[in-house]
Structure 1
């Protein structure tokens, strides 16, 4: 009988014990693999944060931010100046607009009410702009928070007059929330990260006028639109080129057009609401920020880091990464200890068998190979079950580790920090919470058991198993046959 066949047979000699050993090993191996997967997922998230958020600076008009404040608008000439700053790799200009439903605007006008949120005076960057109308209906209900914002803007609930027949009153029609339309020079959101398209394509040349648009998924669903459907803004017809998912209710109540298109709609050619500046590396962000501020002038522009708390976020994720690696090593060590104890027990049970094999001339390497192969059979069975357990548990473990470390706070659905316009210049996709727009990235860690990670984890387990099986086998194999048989 070959060594392999004898090893497989010995592994199943006691089926109850084999099942118990495989179950214990499966738990240890599954935990080790889950921690390794979590470690890889968190490491990938740190790289994503550094690449897509950590190197982004936001430029707003000095004294203006989003749809609030004052100051002078940014220009295309300033964008060219920013692009010449050392360590700056890209500058994306944006133009933010607010759209009101045409029917709702007409009802408000008929009722004689004042312009509220999304109306004619609160333009991007604190500018005065003309109200834009659309056939689209907002995907987010005003709710209690929207009603409060409208009241604080000076809207009136009713108007009345007294005549000979009494008092007549006109009730203000229910006001819907505005829709954020953003003209952008590239397919990116407020963090500088590429828009996540769920269907369709981008807008092609973002530096040219176009009648194509990208819609948030919930906005498209609310208006029964899909790729290829059409809608109007100020009587101009647009075609839905693609749908995107910003990850928030507010962000998905928005649409994107090319930058020149938005400037034409606003009748403000060459004017920008904000600029998204990408730096070549995190190490150069501070220097680039200072150089950018000096080049544009403190009286002309405010330069802020896209995520001020990103360093804290990355530090937290690095801690999670280290914890998951320590847990992987501990689980791997536990699996090795289990194998070592099992093999010590098996070797002691088979001392007589070892003595007989040595008496008939079996070399030490054959005896050691037999026990190593037996251990590997048990580990292989445990690895199969452990891999299945890891595939189900790794995602939850990674999310739990990240959530407990970052402690991010979620904003109410349909709202984000700073009212209608957050710190990112009024672009959709922003969030409140301690890490701002990075919160979405932090809470979206995706852990998947890839073949490479699985192979690396199982290889480590097999390596530990070989060591655990060799140690007791070598110690016993060195004993002379006569001593083994006499002890029996």
Structure 2
């Protein structure tokens, strides 16, 4: 007990020096804890990204993509085959159709309608498209803009107005093409997926254009549907769409058991290549299996560099704290040579004196740890964010790339068909939203590492006391 009391008293013998040591140690400890928090937060984000972003493979009929190309449609059997493939955690089948406005369809002023020559599965709806054709729409739909039969030659040079189709996508569950939850901004998502269901999710663009609210009705594929919810897909084109139950679309479009696209969700982006090979082998020549872009890999790589940086910073801060204690306690031992000699002369053992100096160092460290923990709690989030921002100079490019990765993987699967490289296939990769907080587990691990480093740092000066001989010290006096 006397050793502990002397250690505590000696720690504050020189208040100025002790205060300076505590402040310096607090900074080092706070930095070490902040780096540990950043390291663990980034590790968690990497795991999250690998399991939820860029891990979708798109399966289309061989030779087809959206409303283009040809080939034979996929079937329910293909869905079961894909679900059984290695590393595939979920499969999301969908069937997309073009919903043309009833009046435009009657006049032949639609894509896939009379005189268009574009083919593709299409049907009619009472809804008006939220997207105006404009120059691009007219240019890409020249055949739909041909004058109807009986039009006078005077007006033949003026292309009649036409309406772009609304994309209707039949889904089997309340998720989007990438496996994430649909962003419903009003009402609720679909709950009835039977063939006779009348539920529908409407894009915000379509809802605004047609003045629809939750509970309103509209006609599509000659069935009256009720708006159960309104979603926001993030882009003007993809909000010009509706979600309908898959079984209902298959029945109403006269395509029982047919699937236009299957999205296979892989358990991790590390297994994308293996899953792609397994799916291609299982489905054979009747399906094209494609992966999205590598934007998510760039995001993961960037976070990996942040993880390494934070680990290096954590180790450097620990070493700094240990060196501070080493230097300070070495100075103290040298300054107290006479005191140590006297203690030995009256019978104190080397072990007792060494423990006294170690405890003295730990007293200073405990006080510094309290202050450092408070500083780390307040600053860890900012430091983690700064590390991510500085170490991912291409975050602005990698972020959208990663967002597009899941979208590209879901291309043609969700609303938008061949244009749906954004759409509902998005994986929201927001590296800036790194959750960094100093929890009890992180605090305990960090403080344990700090105490170990400081104990090692104070051990050397403590061992130096064993070399001090009482007779030499007293003779010098």
TM-score class normalised by the smaller sequence = 0.7 to 0.9
Give the whole-Å Cα distance in 2 for the aligned partners of 1:384 and 1:447.
18
Unaligned runs of 5+ in 2: none
User: Is 1:334 the equivalent of 2:320?
Assistant: yes
Give the whole-Å Cα distance in 1 for the aligned partners of 2:338 and 2:44.
53
Aligned in 2, Cα 1:424/1:464: closer, same or farther, shift over 3 Å?
Answer: same
Residue 115 (structure 1) aligns with? 110
Q: How does 1:304-319 map to 2 (within 5 A)?
A: 304-306=290-292, 314=300, 317-319=303-305
Residue 374 (structure 1) aligns with? 364
Aligned in 2, Cα 1:99/1:130: closer, same or farther, shift over 3 Å?
Answer: closer
- The counterpart of 1:393, out of the listed 380, 383, 386, is 383
Aligned in 2, Cα 1:286/1:354: closer, same or farther, shift over 3 Å?
Answer: same
Measured on the aligned residues, the alpha-carbon RMSD in Å equals 5.1
Residue 95 (structure 2) aligns with? 95
User: Is 1:127 the equivalent of 2:113?
Assistant: no
Q: Which moved more, 1:250-259 or 1:382-391?
A: 250-259
Alpha-carbon distance, 1:94 to partner: 1.0
Residue 232 (structure 1) aligns with? 218
Alpha-carbon distance, 1:236 to partner: 2.4
Residue 45 (structure 2) aligns with? 45
Give the whole-Å Cα distance in 1 for the aligned partners of 2:203 and 2:139.
27
Cα-to-partner distance string for 1:353-408 (whole Å, 9 max, x where unaligned): 55565566662223431222223222332232133211332134235434547952
Q: Which moved more, 1:381-390 or 1:7-16?
A: 7-16
User: Is 1:192 the equivalent of 2:179?
Assistant: yes
**Which has the larger Rg?**
2
Q: Contact 1:65 / 1:126 at 8 angstroms: preserved in 2?
A: no
SS of equivalent residue, structure 1 residue 382: helix
Give the whole-Å Cα distance in 2 for the aligned partners of 1:2 and 1:225.
82
Alpha-carbon distance, 1:59 to partner: 0.9
Residue 466 (structure 1) aligns with? 455
Q: Which moved more, 1:356-365 or 1:368-377?
A: 356-365
Cα-to-partner distance string for 1:28-80 (whole Å, 9 max, x where unaligned): 43443343333333333333344345664321012211233333322223323
Alpha-carbon distance, 1:131 to partner: 3.6
- The counterpart of 1:457, out of the listed 438, 446, 458, is 446
Unaligned runs of 5+ in 1: none
Aligned in 2, Cα 1:265/1:368: closer, same or farther, shift over 3 Å?
Answer: same
Aligned in 2, Cα 1:209/1:49: closer, same or farther, shift over 3 Å?
Answer: farther
Which has a greater percent of helix? Answer: 2
Alpha-carbon distance, 1:275 to partner: 0.8
Alpha-carbon distance, 1:304 to partner: 1.8
Q: Contact 2:93 / 2:261 at 8 angstroms: preserved in 1?
A: yes
SS of equivalent residue, structure 1 residue 408: helix
Cα-to-partner distance string for 1:238-278 (whole Å, 9 max, x where unaligned): 3435x777677766665544322333454533221201234
Give the whole-Å Cα distance in 2 for the aligned partners of 1:219 and 1:481.
92
SS of equivalent residue, structure 1 residue 372: helix
Q: Contact 1:41 / 1:445 at 8 angstroms: preserved in 2?
A: no
Give the whole-Å Cα distance in 2 for the aligned partners of 1:360 and 1:216.
88
Q: Contact 1:18 / 1:378 at 8 angstroms: preserved in 2?
A: no
Alpha-carbon distance, 1:190 to partner: 2.8
Q: Which moved more, 1:275-284 or 1:325-334?
A: 275-284
Give the whole-Å Cα distance in 2 for the aligned partners of 1:71 and 1:292.
18
SS of equivalent residue, structure 1 residue 328: helix
Q: Contact 1:27 / 1:386 at 8 angstroms: preserved in 2?
A: no
Q: Contact 1:399 / 1:443 at 8 angstroms: preserved in 2?
A: no
Cα-to-partner distance string for 1:134-155 (whole Å, 9 max, x where unaligned): 37x75xx779xx7534433337
Q: TM-score, normalised by structure 1?
A: 0.71
User: Is 1:447 the equivalent of 2:442?
Assistant: no
Aligned in 2, Cα 1:168/1:152: closer, same or farther, shift over 3 Å?
Answer: closer
Q: How does 1:158-307 map to 2 (within 5 A)?
A: 180-195=167-182, 203-204=190-191, 206=193, 210-213=197-200, 229-230=215-216, 232-234=218-220, 236-240=224-228, 256-264=243-251, 266-278=253-265, 286=273, 289-298=276-285, 300-306=286-292
SS of equivalent residue, structure 1 residue 58: strand
Q: Contact 2:296 / 2:398 at 8 angstroms: preserved in 1?
A: no
User: How many residues end up aligned between the 2 structures?
Assistant: 460
Alpha-carbon distance, 1:302 to partner: 1.0
Alpha-carbon distance, 1:312 to partner: 6.3
Q: Contact 1:398 / 1:447 at 8 angstroms: preserved in 2?
A: no
Q: Contact 1:96 / 1:181 at 8 angstroms: preserved in 2?
A: yes
Q: TM-score, normalised by structure 2?
A: 0.72
SS of equivalent residue, structure 2 residue 122: coil
Residue 75 (structure 1) aligns with? 75
Cα-to-partner distance string for 1:277-332 (whole Å, 9 max, x where unaligned): 3456778755654454344342x321223556766665555444334323332233
SS of equivalent residue, structure 2 residue 263: strand
